[in-house]
Chains A and B, each alone.
Chain A
Amino acid sequence: MPDQYTSIVWEIRMPRAILGALVGGALAISGAAFQGIFRNPLVSSGILGVSSGAGFGAALAILLFNSTSYTYVFAFFFGGLAVLASYLIGRVYSSTTPAIMLVLGGVIVSSVFSALISFAKYVADPYNQLPTIVYWLMGSLATARYHDIAVGGIPMAVGISGLIAIRWRVNVLSMGDKEARSLGIDTVVNKGIIIACATLATAGAVCVSGIIGWVGLVMPHIGRMLVGNDNKVLIPASLSLGACFLIFVDNLGRLITGSEIPLGILTALVGGPFFVYLLKKTKGGGW
């Protein structure tokens, strides 16, 4: 029997915990960075379409190859493509990529890719492909292997380190384009770098674990209540909050029933009340 326990802990729970920490951290840190540069508390890591793009990529890979072996590559590629499209739409209006145009571009691209996901579901073989697609989109860490950490971990680690390194510029950018420029910051380049890092991190997360909502939106807010508005502190705080939160929720999902509740359901169910509790306790804190 001890042999089985060792195997469960090291081969199943360990990669799951590592992946959960990475994914939660990546989603939360990109959410914090986006909320900073877009100066909008309602944006999350998926605002520029990376989640729906990746979702479509995964669905397409399942449709084309009738297996899940290429979902990584496709999800990653289409996630990046979606963000690039949002960015280019943002530039149509003005080459300085104003925040509001980027958000608008993200909304457009997201809805186009959501429609494409629905279409992919519609044409999928209902007995083999459709459940696979739906399952993938629900998001799960249940199948985590060390291999997934190697595949998804690299873009996530790169994106996360990039955001941590550049975090003080998020403070400057969050004052608005004009003010940032007057302080000698090239807003276009810096925004581009931050978007690229956040996209790397989110796409890496989405391509190994599917679409996990809520973490990228709410963790930065919880961080803000705890440590205040300064992105120099807030960004690393979001990273660790997201990591802890996802490990916690994943454990909960695994323990409540033997059959495991999908992550997306629990992140919202657990995160929501916790958010309200913190709001009451800190009266908004550093907002």
Chain B
Amino acid sequence: MTERECNSIKIMKKVLALRALIFVLLIIVSIIAAGCSDGYQSAFRPPVGARKAEMITVRDYAGRIVEVPVKVERIGCLYAFCGHVVAMLGKGENIVAVVEGLKRDKLLTQMLPNIKEAAAPYTGGAVNLEELIKADPDVVFIRGETARNKGEMEKLAKSGIPYLVVDYRNIEEQQYAIGLIGQVIGARTKAQRYNEYYQRCIERVQKDLKAVPANKRVRVYHSVNEATRTDARDTLPADWMQVAGANNVSVNQDLKLIGDKYFASLEQIILWDPAVILVNESGVADYILNSRQWSSLSAVKNRKVYQMPNGISRWGHPGSLETPMAILWTAKTLYPNLFSGLDMVSETKSFYKEFYNYDLPEELVRQILSGKGMRVSKESTR
């Protein structure tokens, strides 16, 4: 081996050693950096039980018995309905994580600007665990559909954040859901007050509807968001519409299920020939009234296609908290003579004042009742 070769080997060894050193340093730096970033910090937090001694036990929709801290200050609402309940119960400022849909509610975001800034750790039907942990909620509410997905449940269990499944198929279960949320976020009394109002609305219309025998009830088709999307049995709309005196034509029929939505075919609707069509999405009523395919329906010929009001949510929507209002409005719309004493303007005003502490100007009340333009279109929030 010549001296030159010897030297070049030495130099090479030095270079290699230096590279190895740089490499090790880089790894150390990146581990430290990852550990320090917001996203990971909270992942190392102590288990919830150790952090807060005081816990309460509740039973959720799925029948799970869950321990949640007594004092809940950061709330995750991965179901739009829960966001509406939390806001109604006066804890809207504590919402730290939402579903994208909540950010599109004009009225809600006007009342609670923090919702626009909240994290949205739920995309493509799956929970984004890192985003959720980053938002650091004390408790998370998820919907029944998410809970049916085992992978999602396991993922949430790993996070150590207590989560509650909230869902319902009828009025009674919806009231239970509201009560449960109230209990967990420390607003039990208000939830009770809301459920009592809900119950009063039901009793109020039921009392007057006694005068209408079952075979004289108006046959109604309820269009949900899309013209042919409607209600199946064992859903909240099937229940509340029956309470409001409507004979819902699509309940107990053979409907097409896509995702969690039920669709009727136009042929079915034409054969049912409802006397009244209630529509909850603005624009759909015009479509139905002007479409050639719908023109043979009696409801269309008699111009009995009504746009339902649209407040924080679409009234009467399967995921709506304004169900008691939908019951009142529908009863009055279907039986105007029976409910001539019911003033929807003042009723609406006092509802939002009482439960959302929101003084609605007359103009906004009219807009809500007309059902038009209350939801921000999707593009404008992007």
Contact = CB atoms under 8 A, between A and B. Distances in A.
Shortest beta-carbon contacts, A-B, top 3: A7-B296, A258-B254, A126-B125
A128 B319 CA distance: 14
B258 A258 contact: no
Contacts, number: 70
Interface in A1-19: 3-4, 6-8, 11-13
Interface of B: 100-101, 123-125, 253-259, 261, 263, 265-268, 270-271, 273, 292-293, 295-296, 377-379
A129 to B, nearest CB: 9
Given A8-B270, A260-B256, A125 B100 contact: yes
B296 A3 contact: yes
Contact of A11 (B100, B261, B292): B292
B256 A127 contact: no
A263 to B, nearest CB: 13
Contacts of B271: 4, 8
Nearest to A1: B273
Given A259-B255, A260-B265, 8 more contacts: A7-B295, A12-B267, A123-B124, A128-B378, A130-B259, A134-B259, A254-B267, A258-B265
B120 to A, nearest CB: 11
Contacts of A145: 292-293
A131 B267 contact: no
A70 B87 CA distance: 37
A7 B270 contact: yes
A13 B378 CA distance: 34
A259 B265 contact: yes
Scoring A3, A4, A127 by chain B CB atoms within 10 A of each residue's CB, the highest score goes to: A127
25 contacts: A3-B296, A4-B271, A7-B293, A7-B295, A8-B267, A11-B292, A11-B295, A11-B296, A12-B266, A66-B379, A122-B124, A123-B123, A123-B124, A126-B259, A130-B125, A134-B258, A142-B265, A254-B265, A257-B254, A258-B253, A258-B254, A258-B265, A259-B254, A259-B263, A260-B265
A13 B267 CA distance: 9
A4 B255 contact: no
Contacts of B100: 125
B123 A4 contact: no
Contacts of A258: 253-255, 265, 268
Contacts of A124: 124
Interface in A106-138: 121-128, 130-131, 134-135
Contact of A6 (B123, B124, B293, B296): B296
A4 B254 contact: no
A97 to B, nearest CB: 39
A285 B223 CA distance: 53
Nearest to B292: A11
A29 to B, nearest CB: 29
Interface in A139-175: 142, 145
Contacts of B259: 126-127, 130-131, 134
B234 to A, nearest CB: 16
Nearest to B254: A258
B296 A126 contact: no
Contacts of A13: 267
B258 A4 contact: no
Contacts of B101: 125, 127
Contacts of A126: 123-125, 259
A5 to B, nearest CB: 9
B296 A4 contact: yes
Nearest to B377: A66
B100 to A, nearest CB: 7
Interface in A221-276: 254, 257-260
A7 B266 CA distance: 11
A121 B126 CA distance: 12
A130 B259 CA distance: 9
A98 B124 CA distance: 42
